[in-house]
Structure 1
Amino acid sequence: FMNGGEVRDAGYNWSQGKQEPRVGEWTKLMIKGRGFFTVKNPKNQENIYTRLGDFHLDAEGNLVTMEGFRVQGVPLAGSATRLRFNPADVNVYDSFNPHSADPYNNPHTNNRQFMNPPGQALAPAQDINLGLDRRNGRYLGSFDEVRVGEDGVIYGRDGNNMVSLYKITVVDFNNLNGLKDVKDGIFFKATDLSGLPSMTVSDSIVIPEALEKSNTWIKVEAHNLTDAQRYFQAASQVHKLADKISGTAIEMIQ
């Protein structure tokens, strides 16, 4: 605190926090290992990153943070169960030419694949939407239950079938201390120092129905704060005594 004092570390503590179970709440997620959830601010469409997986479904069915930031994920084949139709007139041609039905001229042998297999990504990351259908109370109108795997894949259960819907976007950075804090040490954004987010996150899993607790122990930090206050008071007394001695010495010389 006086001459010789120095700052030990001005960065963040990125050590793993303890696991807090949240049984029965599939929207509560925890990353074990390195990595961040990717969320988007709907006001400016900016991606930001967080370790806190305290999510819920909003009124529109989007998976969001408590602040309303939308969790990002890659849609998988099962998410296509929520169909969107173009309400245009349908023209039916009186022809059996394969070209009329299939522009690629594939022979119709009843064994050719015309859609993506389950689990294959259909598009870049987007808002994860799992809205409940008010008519039947099912997710996306088709699924009785939603589960999340350790690989970050969100599954919908339809009877005995599990269908992959989204893969939650988890990213990592080369320099974590290069991230810029945008809210309360919980949400961060990438900078030139942190580097671009990488989808390659090794040795990490997503734990469903759990949250990561703070890696700061309040009792320990309170004890450290008390010690720091004592050291500061002692240093202040020494400083005052040094001033007094210096003043006395100057008076003696005069």
Structure 2
Amino acid sequence: MKALHIAATGMRAQELNVEVISNNIANMRTTGYKRQRADFQDLLYQNLRRMGTNTSATGTIVPTGVQIGSGVKTASTARIMTQGNLAESGKDLDIAVRGEGFFQIQMPDGTTAYTRDGSFERDANGQLVTIDGYAVQPGIVLPQDARDVTISADGQVQIVDAGGAIQQLGQLQLARFINKSGLEAIGDNLFLETESSGAAVVGTPGEDGFGDLMQKHLEMANVEAVSEISDLIAAQRAYEMNSRIIKAADEMSATTSNIR
């Protein structure tokens, strides 16, 4: 029976849906994480009686027809790039983006990755890096005797040196994309540019549509626990209903097989 195959596609779809939801919940405390949502599409239809066809020589037509669907497929796991809550951390090198924009990160192979995770450190050379040691671009080097590090809303990095003088170290910049949901997630809170996202547009925080920066703050994941749990319950019920269809189709097939 076709119902067996159709219900099986529904169960597979809800399995993937639960996997997406579980990943969201697992990353509820991940800095800068952006939740995902599973989107589905119906599969091809079999036309047993096509709508719009003539039913007589006088021109009468079939108003609706008969179509039998073949199930469901996963169309995408869209990433929802809404702003997460900003939490105060009290650490000088923690920076949150309030609004549009990603920090630029230089990878070991020379490519540029992008992140909303502003929990930065400085390495043995004083360079501003991620917690995995990847350099933040443009490069900022903090002297060994640097104190009172200040990062302004527009990305200017200043320190007070050993002599008590204010020293300008550099300017942080942000990158934004026409379609930021088209970025490819590679783990470690990093994204890569793709054909779908479009090329990165680099600019100064607080200008030309870019968000501004907040020192001593971090952006939390944009995952809402109540929403994820309700989606999980809905996915579980949909899975159960599809499994019942398989059971009913099996019982109907057994009844047919037992007819004498």
What percentage of aligned pairs have identical amino acids? 28
List gaps (5 residues or longer) in structure 1: 74-126, 133-137
List gaps (5 residues or longer) in structure 2: 1-9, 12-69
Q: What is aligned with 1:232?
A: 239
Deviation by residue 1:95-151 (Cα, 9 ceiling, x = unmatched): xxxxxxxxxxxxxxxxxxxxxxxxxxxxxxxx211131xxxxx22xxxx42100000
- For 1:209 and 1:8, locate their aligned partners in 2 and report how far apart those are by CA, in whole Å: 39
2:84 aligned partner, one-letter code: G
> Is 1:246 aligned to residue 258 of structure 2?
no
Query: How far has the Cα of 1:44 moved from its partner?
Result: 1.4
Q: What is aligned with 1:183?
A: 187
> Is 1:49 aligned to residue 114 of structure 2?
yes
1:132-147 map, 5 Å: 132=144, 138-139=145-146, 144-147=147-150
CA contact (8 A) 2:140 2:169 kept: no
Selected match of 2:85 from 2, 5, 18: 18
Q: What is aligned with 1:194?
A: 197
Structure number having the greater helix percentage: 2
Selected match of 1:128 from 140, 161, 164: 140
> Is 1:151 aligned to residue 131 of structure 2?
no
Q: What is aligned with 2:27?
A: none
1:14-93 map, 5 Å: 14-23=81-90, 25-41=91-107, 43-73=108-138
Query: How far has the Cα of 1:9 moved from its partner?
Result: 4.7
- TM-score under structure 1 normalisation? 0.67
> Rg: which structure is higher?
1
Query: How far has the Cα of 1:156 moved from its partner?
Result: 1.9
- For 2:83 and 2:216, locate their aligned partners in 1 and report how far apart those are by CA, in whole Å: 17
Query: How far has the Cα of 1:164 moved from its partner?
Result: 2.8
Give the 3 Å change call, closer, same or farther, for CA 218–59 of structure 1 in structure 2. farther
Give the 3 Å change call, closer, same or farther, for CA 68–203 of structure 1 in structure 2. closer
Give the 3 Å change call, closer, same or farther, for CA 35–224 of structure 1 in structure 2. same
- For 2:97 and 2:135, locate their aligned partners in 1 and report how far apart those are by CA, in whole Å: 17
Selected match of 2:213 from 206, 220, 227: 206
Give the 3 Å change call, closer, same or farther, for CA 227–193 of structure 1 in structure 2. closer
Structure number having the greater strand percentage: 2
- TM-score under structure 2 normalisation? 0.65
Aligned residues: 188
